[in-house]
A = this chain, B = another copy of it.
Amino acid sequence: MTAGERTPYREKTTLTAEETTMPLDNPFYTAEMQGPYELHSLGRFELEEGGVIPDLELAVATYGELNEDRSNAILVPTWFSGTHATWWQVYLGEGRALDPTKWFIVVVNQIGNGLSTSPHTTDDPEIAMSRFPKVWVGDDVRAQEQLLREVFGIERLALVVGGSMGAQQTYEWAVRFPDKVLRAAPIAGTAQNTPHDFLYTQTLMDAITSDPGWNGGEYAAATDVADGLRRHADIWAVMGLSTEFWKTEFWRGVQPLVEGQVWDDFGDFQEGFIRTVFGMMDPNALLTMGWKWQRGDVARNTGGDLAAALGRITAKTYVMPFDEDMFFPPRDCEAEQRMIPGSELRVLHSIAGHFGLFGFEQTYLDELDAHLKELLETEV
């Protein structure tokens, strides 16, 4: 089925008791907002934490054509709060590294991100809203592997590339399925989440769950949790961007979300950009991703031995942290890179810190493209 056929938007903000297991409508999670995608059902999907998703649907966007020998496939898993949208808007294009005229690019929205099966999108009372099961990064990677094999007949990937939680999935792919990943490009993320990162993610989650409107996950509309979403966004403003981004007023050059929108001071930008973007999202979706992010760890595949896990990787790997990232600093990424055979550290430069991923700077996009082109040209 296509995205357009999903639950129509309903003009209401409260639900009756009978409706509490109905999918919530949220215009943010539509093809109109995110760009076209398809839902592919994987059927019953057993999760590593012990839960089950009776019918797991992955929201998938593809760009380009799969060649005959199926050797030109690139997989892109999504980041926390993200969808496939930023990829087609910012990273893909003819002549770019991720060129749909050369490559078959498959962007898979992570489980619980609001497009793939998520707490607020399912009408299955067993898993709706507060009853949504816990999902690990490994679940996403297994689901993606099944999807690629069953739906597209893809057994090998020319590249897996992703940012942040997308980097977590990239690492998990390279460790879990070394024979299937020829090249890997984890951007601004780690293979094993750090304690600092765990604590940081918890502050994001607590900002949401502390809102009485969240109601233990049983809110009637995401807007009931507006205060929590605002606080969540405000913490991102502090950690997602860099001190220098704010000090130099780099936001003055950031393209507005809406035509004609202007920001005269940093408070305007915080309100008009950061709070607005994060404020459209679904609280339970963010919490599902947050829990997963906190536990990203490839060493689960090797009894806790990180060196052994990373030592398994046979993909040619470029580890690409941002120089100004406040919570995935280059040194954390470099420590992991050194455990990956034949890998290289390619530090990316963006004044925006972690949110460099949004692609505010052409210099960053050019830099990344150069690295990815070089990686894709590497014989493996």
Contact = CB atoms under 8 A, between A and B. Distances in A.
Interface of A: 194-200, 202-203, 206-207, 210-212, 227, 231, 234-235, 237-239, 241-247, 249, 266, 270, 326-327, 329, 331-332
A194 B246 contact: yes
Contacts of A197: 243
B199 A234 contact: yes
Given A195-B266, A210-B227, A212-B212, A203 B235 contact: yes
A185 to B, nearest CB: 22
Given A210-B211, A246-B194, A247-B196, A234 B327 contact: no
Contacts of A332: 243, 247
A332 B246 CA distance: 11
Given A206-B231, A210-B211, A331-B244, A238 B199 contact: yes
Contacts of A239: 238-239
19 contacts: A194-B243, A194-B246, A195-B249, A195-B266, A196-B245, A196-B247, A197-B243, A198-B266, A199-B234, A200-B238, A202-B234, A203-B238, A206-B234, A207-B231, A210-B231, A238-B239, A243-B329, A243-B332, A326-B326
Interface-central residue, A200, A241, A327, by most chain B CB under 10 Å:
A200
A195 B250 CA distance: 12
A243 B327 contact: yes
A239 B207 CA distance: 16
A82 B237 CA distance: 26
